[in-house]
Each structure stands twice: as structure tokens, then as C-alpha cells.
Structure 1
Amino acid sequence: MSDRIDIPTADGAMPALRFLPESGSGPGLVLFQEIFGVTDYVKDRAADLAALGYVVIVPEIYWRLDDPTIDYEREDWLQQAMGLMQQLDWPTTVGDGVSAVAAARADQNVTGPVGVFGFCFGGGLAFNVAASTDVAVLVSYYGSAIPGLLDLADSVTAPSLHHFGRADTFIPGDVVEQVRAAVTRDGVRFETYDGAGHAFDNPNPAFHHAEASAAAWRNTEDFLAAHFPAK
């Protein structure tokens, strides 16, 4: 089940969704959205994580934008989403992410440590947040900003799991290998998936790669169970 909460920031309240496990409490995960916003897909994945025993908080990262809607009836829906992301001020957005982690730590339902999790845009944001504040774990699906944030790699000390598709045209193979080299250390797991493009976990037919999606989720469950157990 989920409810709406407000996350305090220096500029006001950032809205968020909170998904509770069946027990009503557990370790916390802050889940950061793709460029498309807090979509049904993101909510479904938040519910999946809650079913594993985590309290999942999903901040509305586009809350500062005047009109963060996307018209999927138009052919340029992807360009619309890119435009929304480009309106964000990155340092401010990272600050909002740090505020979300602080709110998770203070949440009465969170009874353990707090980790960060993100898809695409959110995967890069999770990486930067993990470099900016102490978190217990990081899971990043094809973090699109990470190639430009590799100077922060030494500051990300939490156990980490990175997923990348080998057929990603947005983050090509040589760049993926640069990321691998920069982030690899004890406690980091790095998984790649043959034939999978960018956003392969998203069920939209334009992106989805069923085999990679299933394998990545199995790897995610295994990683969380080993490094961030909820039960």
C-alpha cells in the first residue's frame, strides 16, 4: 500500500509517495524516477521493493517544474521527457535527493538503515546522492549521468550494484567500461546484459527487454538480500 507524504526542503515541501511492506516497517529505500516522472512503472517497482520488506519513498523530483506532464499521444513524447529533465538544476536536484534520504531516516516506519535506488536519470541521481550523504546501499539501473560523475566514484562507499545493457545507444559499451573501471572496488557488483538497450527494465515496448529485465531483477534481489536484508 502507499500514501502521500511531504519531504522538507529549504524551499518548501517536496511531495512523495511512501510504500510500506506488509509488516508496516523495515529498512528504507529512496527510489528515484526515470526522466518520465513517477510513472505507473516506477510505482510498480516501488511496490515490488516494498513486497521484499522495505519502506520505499519515491520523491516527485519534478516538483519544482511548472508543468511536468508528458503527452504520450504526441510523437515527441521522448523529447518532452528529455526537456523536463533539462529544466532541472542538477545541484538543487541532488539536494532534494539528500533531503529525501534524511526524510527516510526520520520516518517512523523506517526501522533500519536507508539506501538509494534509481532508474536511468534516477540511477545517476542515486549515485550522486550516495556520494553526498551516507547511505547503506546503492542500486543503479543504467545511470545516465554517471559517466559525467566519475570523479565522485571514490566518495561512493556503500555496497553498490550497477546494471547496464550492452546494446545501450545512450551509454555505449566503451563508456560502460569506463564506468566499470571507475566504480569497481570491494562491495561493488557490476552487471551487463547482452542485447539490452537503455531503459530495458521499463515495460514500454520501445525499451523493454524481457530477459534482461528478469535477470536484472533477480540480481537486484540477490544483492539486496546479501548487503541490505529486510527480513
Structure 2
Amino acid sequence: MHPSEIRTRAIALYDRFTHEGRDRRRFMRELTLLAGSAAAAETLLAAIAANPAAAAIVAEDDKRLKAGMVQWDSAPGRAMRAYVVDPAAGPGKAVVVVIHENRGLTPHIRDIARRVALAGYTAVGVDLLAPDGGTPADEDKGREMIGKLDIAVTTRDAQSAFTRFAADRKAGVVGFCWGGAMVDRLAVAGAHNLAAAVSYYGPAPAPEEAAKVKVPLMLQLAGLDSRVAQTAHPFAEALKAAGKPVIVHDYPGVHHAFNNDSSAERYNADAAKLAWDRTIAFFDRLLNG
């Protein structure tokens, strides 16, 4: 089997493991058979999975920014927290809430928040696992915790970030994978001063929900991501049919999580840059008026 085919099949296996709740032992057996040995499987997995120790694009101590953790209650006794980043010169022109993947508020998502702040916004990297003790260091544990969330309650937690940080400013939201799906839910449910939403490769709601969407939506989709495509494309068509403002960008030949530079095998630098430029231009157009 050609190495590129092994890589593609391995990424598909990993996607099913991380998004469909497959048993880890079964996943490793299948990956070992595919790779040819346990050692080769471990090497392949290390290149596919996100690496928490990967170098950040924007350093934590970047002098152009001010960052810190902020806490509030989304409901009485329900503690929330977020990694909030502002330009060093002062609060951003608008707020952009950043919603994490299915592992929680990881170093990579904090890095994304810093990139948002460098574009001139107040970035709010919300930790939607905060009410359950916060994002754990163990990513498998993080996925397990995400899988147990009550989505209706978690949506209200996400909405509370807009009430807390965008009381008097326009707000946007961007999310990735599980967070991309949450972006779609917020576009349907609405949030305080929410004016623009960008979903990266997030499974979409049922097409029947499209008529309820309250804000302009941009969908960033990976061409090789058939799992997400089977929901995202029908949702996009329903949005168009309902007369809702939607922009769909499909990046051919790239995998799910192509924006995640901490995953060597899935990251695609060209697609990630193009998608990011489009994301910031979308926010600049809709949040600065």
C-alpha cells in the first residue's frame, strides 16, 4: 500500500476513534494492522494526533497582547472561565468568542485566541468544560467529558460569554470541529450582540434548523472530510433556500482539522492561511460597522 493511502486511512481511523466514541484498544489494533507494526502505529499516531507541546504561532508572552483567565457564572453557582486576550493598546474593536475542539481549551486554541487578538479583537477562548472542573491535560479524558455534556446547557454556557464580554460591542464567534458544531448551534439560538459566525469543519444541524439562523454564517469545510460533509452541505443548501446569508468554502484535498498546526499529518498550511484570511476579512466586514 502506498504511504499516502496508509496516511489517509489512518486519518480516517483516527477520526472515527475521536468522534464516534470507538474503543481505544480496537483503534490501536486496526492502526497497527494498517501501519505494519506497533512501533509504526505509534509513530503514525503521534503525527496525526494534536501535539500539546507543539510550538505556538503566537507566543504566550507576546508583548503586543495582554492575556489572562477570567471567571464568571453562566447561571447561579455554575462557574465558567475563559482565556481572554486583548491587544496591548487596549480592548479590541469587537469581541470574538473562540470555541474549542472536542478536547477542551488546549494550548492550540489559546494560540488561536492570540491570533484573533492580533487582528484587533478581544478574543474570548471559552472553556466549556469549566463547570465540570475545566479542561484536563489528558486529551482522551477531555473527549470523554465533552461526550457527557448536556448540549442545551452547554449552549447556554456559551451564550453567557457573549453577555459577559460583549455587553456593548458587536461579537463574532469562531469554532473548530466540535466547536464548529457549537457555532452552528449559536447561529440558530442567537447570543447577545452576535453578528457573525464562522464554523470550521463542524457537523451541522438538521436542514430544518436553517430557517432559524439569526446571523451571517461562514462554513469552512475540508474536502476529504466526508463525515462532516454529509451534514454540512445539506445545511448550507437549506440556508440558501431560506434566504440566509451563508458563505461556504470547501478546500479540496485536505483533511478534517486542516487548520490545526499541532497535528502534523492533518495540517495544511496553504488551506489554513486562506481560511484564516477569509475568517478575519469576514469579521472585519461585519463587526466593524
Contact 2:98 2:124 in 1 (8 A): yes
TM-score by length of 2: 0.69
Rounded Cα–Cα distance in structure 1 between residues aligned with 2:212 and 2:186? 10
Q: Secondary structure at the match of 1:136?
A: strand
Match for residue 126 of structure 2?
59
Rounded Cα–Cα distance in structure 2 between residues aligned with 1:130 and 1:6? 24
Larger radius of gyration: 2
In structure 2, stretches of 5+ residues that fail to align are 1-65
Q: Secondary structure at the match of 1:171?
A: helix
Per-residue CA shift, 1:64-83, capped at 9, x if unaligned?
Answer: 33574253xxxxx5x54432
Identify the match of residue 156 of structure 1 among 195, 203, 213.
Answer: 213
Shift in alpha-carbon separation, 1:18–1:94, aligned structure 2, 3 A: same
Match for residue 69 of structure 1?
136
Q: Which amino acid aligns with 2:159?
A: V
Identify the match of residue 5 of structure 1 among 49, 70, 90.
Answer: 70
Match for residue 89 of structure 1?
150
Tell whether 2:193 aligns with 1:98.
no
Contact 1:8 1:103 in 2 (8 A): no
Per-residue CA shift, 1:73-97, capped at 9, x if unaligned?
Answer: xxxx5x5443222111111100101
In structure 1, stretches of 5+ residues that fail to align are 72-76
Q: Secondary structure at the match of 1:200?
A: coil
TM-score by length of 1: 0.85
Contact 1:160 1:188 in 2 (8 A): yes
Identify the match of residue 220 of structure 1 among 264, 270, 279.
Answer: 279
Match for residue 188 of structure 2?
131
Deviating runs (4+, > 4 A) in structure 1? none
Match for residue 257 of structure 2?
199
Deviation of the 1:219 alpha carbon: 1.3
Per-residue CA shift, 1:158-185, capped at 9, x if unaligned?
Answer: 122110001014324x433212212234
Rounded Cα–Cα distance in structure 2 between residues aligned with 1:186 and 1:85? 30
Tell whether 2:90 aligns with 1:24.
yes
Per-residue CA shift, 1:178-199, capped at 9, x if unaligned?
Answer: 1221223453211010011111
Rounded Cα–Cα distance in structure 1 between residues aligned with 2:234 and 2:94? 32
Q: Secondary structure at the match of 1:190?
A: strand
Structure 1 vs Structure 2: percent identity of aligned residues? 25
**What is the CA RMSD across the aligned residues, in angstroms?**
2.1
Match for residue 176 of structure 1?
232
Q: Between Structure 1 and Structure 2, which shows a larger proportion of helix residues?
A: 2
Q: Secondary structure at the match of 1:88?
A: coil
Rounded Cα–Cα distance in structure 1 between residues aligned with 2:78 and 2:141? 26
Rounded Cα–Cα distance in structure 2 between residues aligned with 1:81 and 1:151? 31
Rounded Cα–Cα distance in structure 2 between residues aligned with 1:194 and 1:66? 39
Q: Which amino acid aligns with 2:136?
A: T
Greater RCO (CA < 8 Å, at least 6 residues apart):
1
Contact 2:195 2:215 in 1 (8 A): yes
